[in-house]
Copies of this chain bind each other. A is one copy, B any other.
Amino acid sequence: MTKASICTIGDEILIGQIIDTNSAYIARELNKLGIQVRYILSIGDNKDEIMSNLTKCLQESDIVITTGGLGPTRDDITKDCLAQLSGAGKLIDSQEQWAINKAFFERRGIEVLDINRAQSYVPDTCRVIPNRLGSAPVMEFILPAGKFGHKTALYAMPGVPFEAIGALPDVMASIKKEFDLEEIVHKTVLTYGIPESVLAKRIEKWENALPEWLKLAYLPSAILGVRLRLSCYGASDHTRIKVMDERIEELYSILGNAVYGTGEESLQSILPRLLKCPPEAAYQETLSVAESCTGGYLSHLITSVPGCSAYYKGSVTSYSNEVKINILGVPTEIIAQYGAVSAQCAEAMAKGVLTALDTDYGIATTGIAGPDGGTKEKPVGLCWIAAAHRSRTTGDIEVVSKQLNYSSTREINIERFASNALNLLRQLVEQQLF
């Protein structure tokens, strides 16, 4: 199996100033190609550390990906190390990267300093993969077997996350060309509402009957639910893809409505598909949100999807009972009789926001996120969620609600409450049984 190591270079990570998110992203992409990540290493901006650790990485892996250490103020250290490790003669100017950088500075009307000019200079032993989102190019070094005992490829990438992520497809394409990798196809099925252990039990037979070249991974998340990733090894054999698709069809029929999407989708990104949209439908269905304990997070999830204004009209965060009563029209008696954290209040909030904001659907949350504020009857982690739909023909409102009980941190409770509310909306739209 082809092995890789990932090495982040920069003091910011070692002093805990920033969290290394690049490595997880890169590791995921390498795994998709069937490459095993042996270790992930973070080291500082120090020549000895860089030299000794990169040498170790190159000896112990086929592919080494570094991020960071290429900023204009210190690119000498990392670039010097890479030049030395690869046996470079001199630095040469990458015309392609310089054209990008020059255009950037001209567009902004900023003077080009020497340290900026130096960014497009690279060791003559590397091939440049241009960085279109920043000024430090990706450097690819293909080192022959004589150097570290076997053929190795080193990719030095920028540390800024959106630059690293932006350049990654080109790096992965190059790795595919340089190494003779087994072809792997991944397909991910997204489920919500069934705990991981129950899910595992339910698909046990199906899982045990999978051919050994078809692997299953469980990927649980507070916001996305449990994702099931199927990886088909030796996918150049097209009959395998066909079998994989058949098994996924079986999975759908076992899990039914627990499946909400595939691949990179989320409960919020499927809303355009869930709600009736022109040109298929005669009108665009719309959504609004009423939040108490989730405090704006549910609306934030929905509006994290670009273009959501086509179906999303907005929300009311009713952190006080007064706002529940005055803006959402929750009857005072409901709060007096059942309390703000109750099925009745959640349902009234969902109906209220749908009416106030004049939308087809409304969803609501009301609960206790913690860490303080619970009682014995209504402990921290309790939440009521509701989803309502108003018929365009009759004007009748249908409403459903559900009780949740969690016991996590305030942050994670809020995430779970919000994603459950989106799932309840999905169930209402799909008219699943309640």
Contact = CB atoms under 8 A, between A and B. Distances in A.
Nearest to A18: B24
A411 interface: yes
A95 interface: no
A168 to B, nearest CB: 12
A315 B317 contact: yes
Nearest to A409: B162
Interface string A19-44: 11101111111110000111111111
Nearest to A227: B17
A370 interface: yes
A295 B306 contact: no
A101 B25 CA distance: 35
Contacts of A49: 38-39
A320 B313 contact: yes
A13 B41 contact: no
B15 A27 contact: yes
Q: Main SS of the interface on chain A?
A: mixed
B316 A316 contact: yes
Contacts of A251: none
A320 B327 contact: no
A312 interface: yes
A14 interface: yes
Contacts of A26: 16
Contacts of A25: 16
A244 B17 CA distance: 22
B316 A371 contact: no
B327 A17 contact: no
B299 A308 contact: no
A37 to B, nearest CB: 4
A69 to B, nearest CB: 14
A309 B299 contact: no
B319 A314 contact: yes
Interface in A400-418: 409-411, 414
B14 A27 contact: yes
Contact of A411 (B31, B304, B370): B304
Interface string A283-312: 000000101000111111111101111001
A430 B307 CA distance: 37
A78 to B, nearest CB: 15
A317 B289 contact: yes
Nearest to A288: B323
Contact of A20 (B17, B24, B411): B24
Nearest to A25: B16
Contacts of A291: 296, 299
B42 A40 contact: yes
Nearest to A53: B39
A322 interface: yes
Nearest to A42: B40
A16 B27 contact: yes
B295 A317 contact: no
A246 interface: no
A38 B27 contact: no
Contact of A299 (B15, B31, B162, B295): B295
20 contacts: A13-B24, A14-B36, A16-B28, A17-B28, A20-B40, A23-B42, A38-B44, A40-B42, A162-B409, A289-B296, A295-B300, A296-B302, A296-B317, A306-B371, A306-B372, A307-B372, A309-B320, A314-B318, A314-B319, A326-B357
